[in-house]
Amino acid sequence: MYEGFSREERLIGKENVEKLNKSKVAVFGIGGVGSFVVEGLARAGIGKFLLVDNDTVDITNINRQIHANITTIGKNKVDVMKERILNINPQAEVDISTEFFMPGSKLVDNSLDYIVDAIDTVTGKIELVCRANELNIPIISAMGTGNKLDPTKFEVADIYKTSVCPLAKVMRKELRSRGIQKLKVVYSKEEPIKPNDGDYKTPASISFVPSVAGLIIAGEVIKDVINGWGNLSKMV
């Protein structure tokens, strides 16, 4: 076993550390939420990754995305995050894609044990949930984290039990129309704050909100894998 996870083994046991190492998790969207999901998963010992994001690091990402600093501006987010994973766990296997995920994508297949949706677009989120549902791959979805200041307002719930969050409202309607009966999400019960510059198209953000959502999601993935949820037949 990689010695970097020795203290974790004392907490969850060798068998569960091995489960995590054998699991492949896809994270779609490596931004404010997704980058912290990946960080949490890598440090918890997930051994295989698929990272999907078509964006590059921008100076405006520095306030909330863990891969963003003055040395990474202009680089592909998936490239920077892959390097970060391998600096945490040199034994990890990391696949990357700069594809803009939309209907028709071939990225979702049965090689995945778990999917994290940290995508910004509703179209992409809906397609990802539907594909996961078709293949019976467990998925957790991030709802809106912009225009918020209170990280203690995040909750883990089924999409149909959410409230307040505008994105969750849209997702409920779209998923219901497609016959999707359930979806685990992380959402905030905090009312969105209006940006003081009047720009409502670009959400305002702060360091400690999307990061908390991302680490909550990482924790849910780890617990689900350990408890045997998902496509874990390959873990033999």
pLDDT at 236 over 50: no
Domain boundaries, the chain: 3-144+209-226
Residue at token pair 């949820």: 229
Q: In the numeric block, which tokens belong to residue 78? A: 């998936």
CATH classification (class only), 3-144+209-226:
alpha beta
More confident: 40 or 1:
40
Provide the CB-side half-sphere exposure for 84 (13 A, CA): 24
The band of 229, judged by pLDDT with boundaries at 50, 70 and 90, is low
Residues 144-200 have pLDDT tens digits of 999 999 999 999 999 999 999 999 999 999 999 999 999 999 999 999 999 998 887
Asked if 48 and 19 touch (Cβ cutoff 8 Å), the reply is no
Report the phi/psi class of residue 203: left, alpha or beta, with left for phi > 0 and alpha for psi in -120 to 50. beta
Long-range contacts, stretch 59-62, CB < 8 angstroms, 24+ apart: 61/31, 61/32
Q: Using DSSP bridges, classify how beta strands 93-97 and 24-28 pair: parallel, antiparallel or unpaired.
A: unpaired
> Whole-number mean pLDDT of the chain?
95
**Residues with Cβ within 8 Å of residue 223, at least 6 apart in sequence:** none
Residues 16-36 have pLDDT tens digits of 999 999 999 999 999 999 999
Distance separating alpha carbons of residues 223 and 228, to the nearest angstrom: 9
